[in-house]
Amino acid sequence: MKRDFLRLWDFTSEEIISLIKRAIDLKKGVDASSCPLIGKSIGLLFEKPSTRTRVSFEVGIYQLGAQPLYMRPDEIQLGRGETIADTARVLSRYLNGIVIRTFEHTRLEEFASAATIPVINGLSDSHHPCQALADMMTIYEKKGRIEGIRVSYIGDGNNVANSLVEACGRLGFTLTIATPEGYEPDADVLDTARSGSGEIILLRDPKEAAAMADVIYTDVWVSMGEEQEAEKKKKRFEKYQLNSSLLACSKPDAIVMHCLPAHRGEEITDEVLDGPNSVVFDQAENRLHAQKALLEMLIK
């Protein structure tokens, strides 16, 4: 039976930990000459631009022995009015799996319900599970564990925050989120994750959230598709910048994370992003290894 990866909550804690450990092995070069997906073809259907997601998936698919096939909506009949379901049914006849980067999460769910091949969420407006998987790998790699770690997320309760919330519920760490009123992660995501093993704390004060953090994480304040709200959001979030003063509130060995791209001088300053506590570019690299482990698991 095919499995999809539309949100982190789709996988159990045991499955996530297994993927993280496999990703670390792949990063170390274990089975480096193995091509478990040789002869397979995996589609990349992107309705949003991308650097890390596209390149890491294309390279990872190639390294596993499969063929990546990149598609934009304007290059296929989906851009000319073919239904999502019909596109899913046709592509299922050609491909062994597909990664989709889109806007509304419901489009992803509609595609997955009609497809007979595994569907991976490369990003939607509601969730970014591949990023969270790489984030958890990075924390495990840098801190030696995930359970019991204190992660503080400073900024907009966006798709990245939603996936971190679900990671918290599955993996048993403490997630403190500091965000202005009205910008919290989705209520249904919070409710679901609170049934899990972690602790989720919502605060307004970023300094309080940063206090004693093992990991301090931020993301852009204005996501793709929100450009019309840019000035309003920047004003609301101006006190939530991850700078050296805020970092000083956390533990001396706290690691700094950002999913990139970064708007330097807005949500994070140069001295923090490029400083000794930053693991941001290791985190970006880990997208490749975590997604290779995911592809191995899903594509048969």
204 and 105, same domain (yes or no):
no
Task: Show the tokens assigned to 14.
Answer: 């045991």
Dump pLDDT digits (tens) for 35-68: 999 999 999 999 999 999 999 999 999 999 999 9
Dump pLDDT digits (tens) for 212-224: 899 999 999 998 7
Average pLDDT, the chain: 96
Residue 229's pLDDT is 81
65 and 146, same domain (yes or no):
no
123 and 163, same domain (yes or no):
no
pLDDT at 226 over 80: no
The SS3 call for residue 172 is coil
Distance CA 176, CA 168 (A): 10
Burial environment of residue 225 by CB neighbours within 10 A (0 to 12, 13 to 18, 19 or more):
exposed
In the chain, % of residues over pLDDT 90: 92
294 and 241, same domain (yes or no):
no
Q: What is the pTM of this model?
A: 0.97
109 and 221, same domain (yes or no):
no
86 and 174, same domain (yes or no):
no
pLDDT at 225 over 80: no
Query: Is 244 inside a domain boundary?
Result: yes
Query: Is 2 inside a domain boundary?
Result: no
- The dihedral region occupied by 123, where left means phi > 0, alpha psi between -120 and 50, and beta the remainder, is left
Distance CA 19, CA 133 (A): 8
Number of domains in the chain: 2
107 and 223, same domain (yes or no):
no
Query: Is 1 inside a domain boundary?
Result: no
Distance CA 16, CA 164 (A): 13
Catalytic residue numbers, as ranges: 101, 128, 131, 219, 259, 287
21 and 112, same domain (yes or no):
yes
Expressed as residue numbers, the domain containing 264 is 131-283
248 and 172, same domain (yes or no):
yes
120 and 184, same domain (yes or no):
no
Q: Over range 77-99, report the average pLDDT.
A: 95
71 and 91, same domain (yes or no):
yes
pLDDT band at 29; cut points 50, 70, 90: very high
Query: Is 3 inside a domain boundary?
Result: no
Distance CA 293, CA 125 (A): 24
CATH number at residue 93: 3.40.50.1370
Query: Is 88 inside a domain boundary?
Result: yes
200 and 253, same domain (yes or no):
yes
Residue 150's pLDDT is 98
Dump pLDDT digits (tens) for 89-126: 999 999 999 999 999 999 999 999 999 999 999 999 99
Dump pLDDT digits (tens) for 174-219: 999 999 999 999 999 999 999 999 999 999 999 999 998 999 999 9
